Amino acid sequence: MALLFLCFFGFLMMRMPVGFCMLCSSIIYSLAYGESLNMIMSRAVQGSSGFTLLALSFFILAGNIMNRGGVTDRIFGFCKKLIGWIPGGLGHANVLASVIFAGMSGSAVADAGGLGAIEIKAMKDDGYDEEFAVAVTGASSCIGPIIPPTISGVVYCVASGVSVGKMFIAGVLPGCCLALTQMIYIFSVSKKRNYPRHAFAGFRDLGSSFITSFPALLTPVIILGGIMTGICTPTEASVVAVLYALLQGFLTRDLKIKDLPSIMDETLTSAMSVLFIVSSANAFGYIITAQQIPTKLANAFLGVVTNKIVALLVINIFLLLVGMVMESLAALVILVPILMPVVTSFGIDPLHFGVICILNITIGMLTPPVGMVLFTLTNVSSLTFEKITKAMLPLLAVNIIALLIVTYCPPLTTWLPNLLM
């Protein structure tokens, strides 16, 4: 087993893509210990052939269509008019836009890349420090993988067997909690630095902006409404999201037929990358499970930690550290089967654990050396990677406070899905 992890971390240090790290490590281990190579490859293929994973590809496609169809401009414009009059108004609009956009893309990187350029430019033009604007944009992008539909949520459900519909609904209140903690911080900093705020635009302008952005705002309602009422499964809801995004783009004339090939190319690249990681992680996880690592780890953990509060704290620290060095989806597929026996032994609800997992791994995307959101922000701002990392530290602390609230207040996660489903 040492060989498997030695190869994996060795390849990782050589900067090999994480999917190849897991697959190559699995193959080397199989050849060294006489494991069936056919079984390893079969597990890899099975890892990406599940019906549930279709939702992942379609949600990525829906997010790309909306990004190209001018949805981001309309959403941010509406949020600016709705709460731009509060101290730190554009910062609050930044967070609220991420909450709304999360209901369409489910991705932190898509949020930072799609809304980021618009939000950072608007905040800079309004007199905000660029470092603060970039930090708020990065921190608010963490909301994307929590509020449904969430790509990370789909992957967690594949790894754990939890209902996708319940997982989606479980992320609503924790996502709002994360947004609220960020807005409190933005308010206090804006008051201290005397950042500008706009006069209230008036109900007529607000109503006009709402009507313009209403089709976009309706997207998460259609997705969640369809799932909760049983009209469609999460996978079918993802297809509905794509069709609705196309209809919306063509009716507003922001989307052209000539845009579709490049959108499909971008989606295929993203989806294949994610599915390859999931496939490789499935093969890697098969070896770990076959060697009974989850059971051994659970027994060892229970021998040292007997208190649920301490156990949750240790798991959080571990997941945060993993999120700093490993790609988020790969971490979920590998770690969820390993940690699930530990979690169930302490009576922690799998839905609650799922949100904790996703939030930890997402916060890791804001930290070097692997932080994908940080790299995305370097492309949409004029700041260096080092400056962005430094500017992000206060909001990282804010996100961790929200994480602790979600961790130690289980009803925040479990109450809504138990009520509605």
Three-state SS annotation for the chain: CHHHHHHHHHHHHCCCCHHHHHHHHHHHHHHHHCCCHHHHHHHHHHHCCCCCHHHHHHHHHHHHHHHHCCHHHHHHHHHHHHHCCCCCHHHHHHHHHHHHHHHHHCCHHHHHHHCHHHHHHHHHHCCCCHHHHHHHHHHHHHHCCCCCCCHHHHHHHHHHCCCHHHHHHHCHHHHHHHHHHHHHHHHHHHHHHCCCCCCCCCHHHHHHHHHHHHHHHHHHHHHHHHHHCCCCCHHHHHHHHHHHHHHHHHHCCCCCHHHHHHHHHHHHHHHHHHHHHHHHHHHHHHHHHHCCHHHHHHHHHHHHCCCHHHHHHHHHHHHHHHHHHCCHHHHHHHHHHHHHHHHHHCCCCHHHHHHHHHHHHHHHCCCCCCCHHHHHHHHHCCCCHHHHHHHHHHHHHHHHHHHHHHHCCCHHHHHHHHHHC
Is residue 245 scored above 90 in pLDDT? Answer: no
- Identify the pLDDT of residue 114: 65
* 49-58, 325-334, 340-349, 385-394, range with the lowest pLDDT: 49-58
* Residue labelled with tokens 């700041």: 383
- Asked if residue 6 is part of any domain, the answer here is no
Q: How confident is the model at residue 107 (pLDDT cuts 50, 70, 90)?
A: low
**Which is higher by pLDDT, 334 or 135?**
135
Q: What would the mean pLDDT of 57-70 be, rounded to a whole number?
A: 77
- Asked if residue 69 is part of any domain, the answer here is yes
The model scores a pTM over 0.85: no
- Asked if residue 277 is part of any domain, the answer here is no
User: pLDDT (tens digit, 9 = 90+) per residue, 318-342?
Assistant: 888 887 777 777 788 788 888 888 8
- Asked if residue 335 is part of any domain, the answer here is yes
- Identify the pLDDT of residue 9: 78
Q: What's the total number of domains in the chain? A: 1
Q: How confident is the model at residue 415 (pLDDT cuts 50, 70, 90)?
A: very high
Q: How confident is the model at residue 192 (pLDDT cuts 50, 70, 90)?
A: confident
Domain extent for 227:
51-271+291-420
- Asked if residue 42 is part of any domain, the answer here is no
- Identify the pLDDT of residue 62: 79
- Asked if residue 22 is part of any domain, the answer here is no
- Identify the pLDDT of residue 30: 83
- Identify the pLDDT of residue 103: 64
- Asked if residue 307 is part of any domain, the answer here is yes
- Identify the pLDDT of residue 300: 76
- Identify the pLDDT of residue 52: 65
- Asked if residue 236 is part of any domain, the answer here is yes
Is residue 202 scored above 90 in pLDDT? Answer: no
User: pLDDT (tens digit, 9 = 90+) per residue, 151-186?
Assistant: 788 888 888 888 888 888 898 899 999 999 999 999
- Identify the pLDDT of residue 33: 80
